[in-house]
Structure 1
């Protein structure tokens, strides 16, 4: 009897999170715009407490900034934010891949291939939300295999703060397909136990994510430049 309210509460919370995330990613909620608690409370038929809990979660992911006595507003992101995050991501995950290359078992590598096949299906379906979730599983597997717990914790902490950037990058046309293609090369490097190549490939993929996102931030013309950059990446 006690489980039902908990399950319902979690479901509502996830709906609130998804609604706000998608509104921000699609541009319906603009940077600096306030996210109204009363409207969400009325829409979902709930009190403001679970909404505030969702706001705190979205703040930790980089979507919102909660300002005392003002409420939650959409976080404004600069090109510098993007550039700095992807520089860090490139270095940390590249190093994790280098370490993982000597630790991954044949079974681990087979699992990476299975995950990437699933990602290929999701890319064909245009399912960004589930692609993002499974994409994390791919990276989590080799990061864990690095054997460096502090490195894995650091990557998780940095990644959580910039979930919004990662989702936005994967949402760009053609970005998911590029990710799948890059993963194939990374898997091949893992099979060869080639840590240097794995490091370079993972670093390059992260750097590409940052470049295309920066290109897309300047309007329709820049968005086209981002797509052109992705097209060029296929031939790298």
Structure 2
């Protein structure tokens, strides 16, 4: 076992090792995850591997097959398009409401997320980048003032997070188009421009969907 000391349990260690391999695309969508093989690779017993796979399944990254082991999720194009259709509807509503309600503090928090997003992109830290990106959208949902809407958006962000982990290719580019899109949305929100905020969010999500290639 390598560097297990920093983790509370062996299961926690296995979980982080597997999650890192997924994030860095060392493991691919649809790939089988045999417990015996993983246990040998990580120098642990099968029990913590099984527990880690259950945890990843709860996050939507792994599919547990009855009497068939586990494999990484392989979302279909139809599932991705359907999820983005829902996300587009919810986030356009959220940004519309946020445009008239957003506070100076929430504006500052969005500015901070953009700075962190730029840093994580430069460092090619995909996991950090995706977390920061989701935080940007969660703050807007929060600014809508509708906690039910924010809860639905949080759920759909978790789903699209998995798609981005498996299929996003923006680290193949030298610059990140999402940064400018987020800056434009922030400017529209700061100006309390409802129509422009909605249009920019719609365009942003449309481009995000196009960047996925299952």
Which TM-score band (shorter chain)?
0.7 to 0.9
In the aligned structure 2, how far is the partner of 1:121 from the partner of 1:34?
Answer: 34
| 2:23 match | 22
Following TM superposition, by how much is the alpha carbon of 1:78 offset from its aligned partner in structure 2, in angstroms? 1.9
**SS of 1:35 mapped into structure 2:** coil
More helix by share: 1
Gaps of 5+ in 1: 218-236
Aligned residue in 2 for 1:233: none
What is the TM-score of this pair, normalised by structure 1? Answer: 0.77
For residues 178 and 132 of structure 2, the distance between their equivalents in structure 1, rounded to whole angstroms, comes to: 12
Tell me how far apart the structure 2 counterparts of residues 50 and 94 of structure 1 sit (CA, whole Å): 42
Aligned partner of 2:76 in structure 1 is 78
Q: Is the 8 A contact 2:84 2:160 kept in 1?
A: no
Question: 2:100, 2:192 within 8 Å by CA — same for their partners in 1?
Answer: yes
Structure 1 residue 185, shift from structure 2 partner? 0.4
**How many residues are matched?**
208
CA distance in 1: counterparts of 2:29 and 2:7, whole angstroms = 32
TM superposition score normalised by structure 2: 0.84
Asked whether the 8 Å contact 1:87–1:207 carries over to 2, the reply is no
Alpha-carbon RMSD across the aligned residues, in angstroms, is 2.4
Gaps of 5+ in 2: none
CA separation in 2, counterparts of 1:30 and 1:106? 41
SS of equivalent residue, structure 1 residue 73: strand
Q: 2 CA distance for matches of 1:121 and 1:99?
A: 29
Distance verdict in 2 for CA 1:12–1:79, change over 3 Å: closer
Equivalent of residue 35 in structure 2, options 27, 34, 37: 37
Aligned in 2, Cα 1:47/1:153: closer, same or farther, shift over 3 Å? Answer: farther
